[in-house]
Chains A and B, each alone.
Chain A
Amino acid sequence: MSRLEERIGLRSLIGAIRERLSRPLPPNSGGAVLGSMAVFFILIQVFSGALLAIYYVPSWSEAHASVVLIAKDVTFGWLIRSVHVWSAHLLVATVLLHLVRVFARGSYGKPREVTWLTGAALLGLLMGSAFTGQMLPMDDEAVKGAEVGAAYAREAGLANLVQGGPHVGPPMLTRMFAAHVILVPIGIALLVAAHLSLVARHRLHGAENPQGSSPEFLRRLTFALLGSAALLAVLAIVRPAGLGPSPGGSGAPVKPMWMFLPVYQAAKWVSGPATLLLLMGPPAFLVAVPFLPRRLAVAAGTLILAAALVFGIWGAAS
């Protein structure tokens, strides 16, 4: 063992991680587990997604049948798929809570501006992952959702990039597939690495005035992860991910996923360049946050958050 240890240094690496995780915590840091929970859900996504990729066929005509096969015929395919779908929702929700908490505590200030920026980029990539993944089942809802997304892309002048052609068709599916399983995950992996190493470098906000005993964080983290696993299992088993009708079936109108509802609802009232502003406004704000005066950032952030909640609930109810 010691020969192996001499060569790979695994024990010292684990020791270093333990040492970092065992540092005394800043005051009121119960919510610090949110970031770790997000990493947990990302790992779940990687493993469940890899299993789904074994059976999924990224072809316009065969994709839906392959998803039906996964959900009905493959042993525990329904469970893997349900875990993937629910974990995606929980991941974005966790990251949003993490964002709100970090914003409210002003933890993004010097020297953690870059940590914030990598986090904001991660949020963008995760929502991109949700959007690109949403089309893959190729049921009626997925195709209509893709059409809605493509309409926004047209407003932004990115129609060709997203659709790969003049309208929503087979090239768009392969683009979404490539983005969902290769491009976006690579970006997420790189950004998570950057984000975590920056967190390790600058330690938690307020770590200068530690409080609480050292095993406290590990204990909380373990409970949070056990709780996350329990919640995920309950959702995936009690409400397994369903199968929509084949494309072109029902004429029912389609709504985007909950995380896009605020923009979807607000976009009903604007058109043309204003849509672009609506789409690019929130990301631009997130990038600007660390460089704005704190008061302005808090005022604008509260306003955006309130508007997002109102439009989101409105969009869900309408």
Chain B
Amino acid sequence: MLSLAAWLVFALPPQVERAERDDQCIKCHEDQGAEVKGTMHQNAGVGCVSCHGTDEIEKGKHRRTATFRPARVPQIANLCGSCHRAVLEAFEPSPHFAAAKADPSDPKQRSTCSACHEYHTTSGAFAPTILERCLNCHEKASHEYVEGVAAFAALDGHAEALDRFEDHLHELSRAPGIRISDLEGMIEEGRTARRRLRISQHGLDWKRLMADAAASADRAAAAYNSLAERERRFGHRYFGLGVFLGLLGVGAALIARRARLLRKESAA
């Protein structure tokens, strides 16, 4: 009897399972599994294990081994930043990053990546959602909030100016008489600026962000205006046509007069 018990203890495998695949996690963490489902991260092959690491599960409980990462503040910024390097670099000098570092116990993770980005659904953060979340900590009248609103407006204005220019350039791509070849490079320049602003906004340096967005928007607007000016100038061709037709008319009148005189002469 005793030997049988001893055999059971040593021969049966221990009740420990190595959890190293997403489908194992989702068996228990159903809600989180649903949140992650179909996200850009999941589609790109970034799942539970990519952020949370692997662990050993004993009788349905995490053993919290060294390879396990619960992904709490402030490591989350470093974790996201291991892929989104440029974003992390932009974020590091911001007061939010400093605050998150200073208070690692902040349970709501209010000042790090997850303050604006849902960490499981990993949706892109959009201005209205972000601004709503600012108000969780900042007053509506605070300069942080007011400047943030203005900065997002400047970013929107920049995107609008670029789109307007790009659309118009595309419309004119087959219009004869209107030169666009020198402005086509502006499209790539604008897109690069938009990418750069999208990253640098994580520094939360609203004044610089506004100035950068406004400068790039001004360039796009100037390019748009120069397209419009070229269109207007191409319209002047009707003036040239009028002059040409006028000259032809004068010529015709002179010839008709001379013909009349000749006819009169021959009649006389």
Contacts and interface: CB of A to CB of B under 8 A. Distances in A.
Interface of A: 69, 71-73, 78-79, 81-82, 213, 215, 219, 222-223, 226, 229-230, 233-234, 237-238, 240-245
B241 interface: yes
A229 B248 contact: yes
Contacts of B175: 72, 242-243
A222 B256 CA distance: 10
Contacts of A230: 244-245, 248
B168 to A, nearest CB: 15
A240 B176 contact: yes
B240 interface: yes
Interface string B235-253: 0011011001100100110
B245 A233 contact: yes
26 contacts: A69-B181, A71-B176, A71-B177, A72-B176, A72-B177, A72-B178, A73-B181, A78-B176, A78-B177, A79-B177, A215-B262, A222-B255, A226-B248, A226-B251, A230-B248, A233-B241, A234-B245, A237-B237, A237-B238, A238-B238, A238-B241, A240-B176, A242-B174, A242-B175, A243-B174, A243-B175
B180 interface: yes
B233 to A, nearest CB: 12
B259 interface: yes
B129 interface: no
Nearest to B177: A78
A292 B238 CA distance: 51
Contacts of B174: 242-245
A72 B180 contact: yes
Nearest to A67: B176
A215 B259 contact: yes
Given A233-B244, A233-B245, A213 B266 contact: yes
B262 A73 contact: no
Contacts of A71: 176-177
B84 interface: no
B263 interface: yes
Contacts of A229: 248
B259 to A, nearest CB: 5
A244 B176 CA distance: 11
A243 B178 CA distance: 12
Nearest to B267: A213
Given A71-B176, A72-B180, A234 B252 contact: no
Which residue of A72, A82, A234 has the most chain B CB atoms within 10 A of its CB atom?
Answer: A72
A233 B247 CA distance: 12
Given A73-B181, A223-B255, A81 B176 contact: yes
B248 A242 contact: no
A264 to B, nearest CB: 25
B64 interface: no
B179 interface: yes
A133 to B, nearest CB: 17
Contacts of A244: 174
Contacts of B255: 219, 222-223, 226
A242 B176 contact: yes
A234 B241 contact: yes
Interface string B176-219: 11111100000000000000000000000000000000000000
Nearest to B252: A226
A82 B245 contact: no
